[in-house]
């Protein structure tokens, strides 16, 4: 997978009050992803785009699109990535 493919999988971060709480409470960041993306390709895309290892990925289909809740190793890693992508 290259960066162009990864940017097609990870569309954008999903920013709400609930997702801010997830960063601090559960080391998770929420992304809107491609509807056809599976958990394995989402993990690979996170690794390529943001150079961070995702521990776990949970997905949910919603009205606003498919969401991926990506868990990171620690609160610091999740907070640093959120700052890097402009969420905080």
Outline where DSSP puts E strands in the chain. 10-13, 28-33, 56-62, 65-71
13-34: average pLDDT:
94
- Whole-number pLDDT of residue 2: 92
- CA proximity to 38, closest of 76, 75, 68, 8: 68
- Whole-number pLDDT of residue 40: 96
* CATH architecture designation of domain 3-84: 2-Layer Sandwich (3.30)
25 pLDDT exceeds 90?
yes
- Whole-number pLDDT of residue 22: 93
- Whole-number pLDDT of residue 64: 84
What pLDDT band is residue 86 in, cutting at 50, 70 and 90?
confident
- Whole-number pLDDT of residue 51: 93
């Amino acid at each position: 997978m290259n960066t162009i493919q990864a940017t097609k999988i990870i569309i954008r971060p999903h920013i709400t009050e609930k997702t801010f709480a997830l960063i601090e409470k559960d080391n998770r960041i929420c992304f809107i992803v491609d509807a056809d993306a599976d958990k394995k390709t989402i993990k690979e895309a996170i690794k390529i785009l943001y150079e961070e290892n995702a521990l776990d990925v949970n997905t949910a289909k919603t009205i606003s699109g498919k969401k991926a809740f990506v868990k990171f190793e620690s609160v610091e890693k999740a907070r640093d990535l959120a700052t890097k992508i402009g969420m905080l």
